[in-house]
Amino acid sequence: MPDALTVRVFSQYRAGPPGYPVGWHKSGTEIMQAKLNSSKINELRREAAKAGKPAHGFDSHIEGLAIVVYPSGKGAWRIDYREPRTGQRRRRKIGKYPALTVVQAREVASEKFQRIAIGLDPFAEPKQDDRITVERAWKRYVAEYLSNRSKKYRYDADGYGRREIVPRFGSIDIADLARGELLTHIDKRRAETRAAGDTLYRHCHAFLEWCVDVELIEANPIAKKRLGRRGRARGSERGRTNRRARSLINSHRGDEDLGRVLAAAEIGREAGKILPLEIRPSEIYCDATIVLLATGKRLSEVLEAPVKEFDGQNTIWTIPPERRKGIRSDTPADKCKPEVVPLFGLAREVVARRRGTVAGPFVFSVDGSRPYSNISTNTEALLKLAGVEGVVHHDYRRTISTKLASWRFGAEVRHAVLGHVGALDGDELDGVYNLHTYAEEKGEALERWDGYLAELQAEWVPILLAELRGKDIEIADLTGAATGGSLVH
């Protein structure tokens, strides 16, 4: 590409200098490459008047936008592009100068190039199906952006788009999407389920930020407000669900919350239909909760686990790369590895029992044909049974990391237990020289954690049963694995 304000003359019709589109220049035409403004156009006017021939200027701000200035001082704006359907190069006039200013010409050119980007003829008569609607923009977002994200994020985002965004806003022009209408819908979902509303906000925000990046819209209508006076944060609390510090082990209640949840999962699994409906979690969900607590894995990793990922003795669980969070299509090959999770007492017993009750490919399933999905109702019932409030599944991972840290396990081991991909890559030298997998240390940490959970379960199951009897809930002759005998003494 020539330097700005470079002027050259061509003696015959041919391609321009390197970097310029083919076919822009004619014999004797003077050209200019610069960020066009009034002074640059006046310079083209002088050159055209002096040579008695049109002078061409190319805008370095909007690639493909050009102006031709005639000796009379008048000019015309035009764009160079490839016709989306045929691929043929086109050059079309978009307005006259000075009737169309530089700023207006860039706006018109941007609109034309947006239509070209989504495969539309920029000069065709507008039709109802040619509008850049939210649905069209979302499909392009899925194809161009989500395709490079991790499988879990892509599945989650596309699901919210199909269920929440496209059905309600799909027919609206993306440029006409109103902040108030969108936030009203998000707040309605947030009132129903805070986590779902906050997740919807984050996916909408990411989608609209991408629309800004590809110039489908000028600004994100639901962007959070800037910092106020003295740097204090202003604006909405939407989308902040994950900013938590909740652990089931804390300085105020000790390990009581963890013991109650673990005991409730064991009692819920053993008691079955004896418990009242409002505190009756399903047996499958209780089993899944025990595995979540024992392994520190994510909810989707546990509930979507197929039988084939476990070895015959139920001692090793191998999670393939495509099911791990953080592995995308552009993740380096040395990071695209399966995660090996050693299973000990509690988790091993649950997996063995579940494998013996399902005939299909999934461990945690009603009939084995598909993963268990009745989460919200059973979570609420389990927490009521435990007498604990405000707990989400991610708190289980925070709890195990907190306890391992109190036992002096290093950050590398804790990241290995949680299955974080590339968590320590911030230290470039360590990433180059330290190739240790921490597999042995991970096994030691999980084995000690399993023994700690078994002790808690044996301690809190009788306490929780006594509380239930105090509420006139009769539970008798239940055999529990945790206590080695009857749950009722």
**For the chain, which domains are there?**
30-127 (3.30.160.390), 134-228 (1.10.150.130), 256-486 (1.10.443.10)
Predicted pLDDT at 48: 87
Q: In terms of pLDDT, which residue wins out, 86 or 235?
A: 86
Report the run of H or E that residue 132 belongs to, with start and end: none
Predicted pLDDT at 38: 83
Q: What is the mean pLDDT of residues 400-418?
A: 92
Q: What is the mean pLDDT of residues 98-102?
A: 84
At residue 79, the 3 state secondary structure works out as strand
Predicted pLDDT at 147: 84
Mean pLDDT of the chain: 80
Predicted pLDDT at 314: 85
**Ordered DSSP codes for 305-345:** -BGGGB-TTS-EEEE-GGGSTT--TTS-GGG--PEEEE--H
Predicted pLDDT at 417: 92
Q: What is the mean pLDDT of residues 207-225?
A: 85
Q: In terms of pLDDT, which residue wins out, 149 or 351?
A: 351
Predicted pLDDT at 481: 41
Dihedral-angle region of residue 187 (phi above 0 means left; psi in -120 to 50 means alpha; beta otherwise): alpha
How far from 70 is each of 5, 22, 27, 37, 41, CA to CA, in Å?
Answer: 18, 22, 15, 17, 11
pLDDT 10s digits, 420-466? 876 555 555 555 667 778 889 999 999 999 999 999 999 999 999 98
Predicted pLDDT at 478: 52
Q: Evaluate the omega torsion of the peptide bond into residue 98 and state whether it is cis, within 30 degrees of 0.
A: yes
CA–centroid distance for 139 within its chain:
16
